[in-house]
Amino acid sequence: GAVVSQHPSWVICKSGTSVKIECRSLDFQATTMFWYRQFPKQSLMLMATSNEGSKATYEQGVEKDKFLINHASLTLSTLTVTSAHPEDSSFYICSAPRSGSNYNEQFFGPGTRLTVL
Amino acid sequence: AQTVTQSQPEMSVQEAETVTLSCTYDTSESDYYLFWYKQPPSRQMILVIRQEAYKQQNATENRFSVNFQKAAKSFSLKISDSQLGDAAMYFCAYRPEYGNKLVFGAGTILRVKS
């Protein structure tokens, strides 16, 4: 099956610094990728839709300037958490739908655990 | 806007027994997709089963089957012969026919007792 990777899998940073998380589709091209945030024992909360070649679409309540998304190529999207604070600590997951299948099956990355001290 | 509701925060099942996880959804669309995803402790999301709304036949994947009731907007997951490896958080999800954005339910934690 298709594979989506995320890097890093776990990151610890100091408050006030910025952290970049990469999401790559390894064996297919993805014009769209999705970024989710998940707290323990809770559901995935969609943060934004990353669009290759254009600006990301953010969900209501998500700060665009805090969570910068760049879809640099058809296989790479990045999420940068700027000026991170402890409340940004969470599990971040990306996903990418693979076009061409009969229902554009969506593939998920393994997630990135962010801890802000 | 579409919504997905999972009313069972936690469920338990004895190994080898059968368990059913509930899911209801709300949409005004006539064509869409429904999914069940499994998230084990590794937190990697795994597709368990999908159902196309235009298909009346319930989807089945080995020990996993669904009861899709379109009029009632209900989409339950039945796990037969439960195994220890089935222990995970299960999410019901909705996707419109056109578009790739998934709407997730709150999730159900499934515990399997040996």
Q: Å from B53 to nearest chain A CA?
A: 12
d(CA B103, CA A51) in angstroms, rounded, equals 18
Give the 3-state DSSP-derived string for A43-98, with helices as H, strands as E and coil as C. CEEEEEEEECCCCCEECCCCCCCCEEEEEEECCEEEEEECCCCHHHCEEEEEEEEC
Q: What is the mean pLDDT of residues B81-87?
A: 98
Specify the pLDDT at position A102.
Answer: 62
> Half-sphere exposure of B68 toward its Cβ, with a 13 Å CA cutoff?
23
Question: B109 and A41 in contact by Cβ < 8 A?
Answer: yes
Specify the pLDDT at position B55.
Answer: 93
The residue ranges of chain A whose pLDDT is under 50 are: none
Q: Compare all CA atoms of chain B with the CA of A96 and give the residue at the minimum distance.
A: B100
Interface of B with A (CB under 8 A): 33, 42-45, 47, 50, 52, 89, 91, 95, 100-102, 104-107, 109
Residue B8's pLDDT band (cuts 50, 70, 90):
very high
Partners of residue B91 in chain A, C-beta under 8 Å: 43-44
Residue pairs between chains A and B whose CB atoms are closer than 8 Å: 43
Partners of residue B61 in chain A, C-beta under 8 Å: none
Specify the pLDDT at position B98.
Answer: 87
Specify the pLDDT at position B21.
Answer: 98
Question: A43 and B105 in contact by Cβ < 8 A?
Answer: yes
Specify the pLDDT at position A101.
Answer: 66
Question: B89 and A41 in contact by Cβ < 8 A?
Answer: yes
Specify the pLDDT at position B96.
Answer: 93
Q: Which of B43, B91, B107 sits opposite A91 (nearest CB)?
A: B43
DSSP character for A42? Answer: S
Residue type, A2: A
Q: What is the mean pLDDT of residues B18-46?
A: 96
Whether the per-residue pLDDT at B50 is higher than 80: the answer is yes
Question: B43 and A46 in contact by Cβ < 8 A?
Answer: no
Q: What is the mean pLDDT of residues B86-99?
A: 95
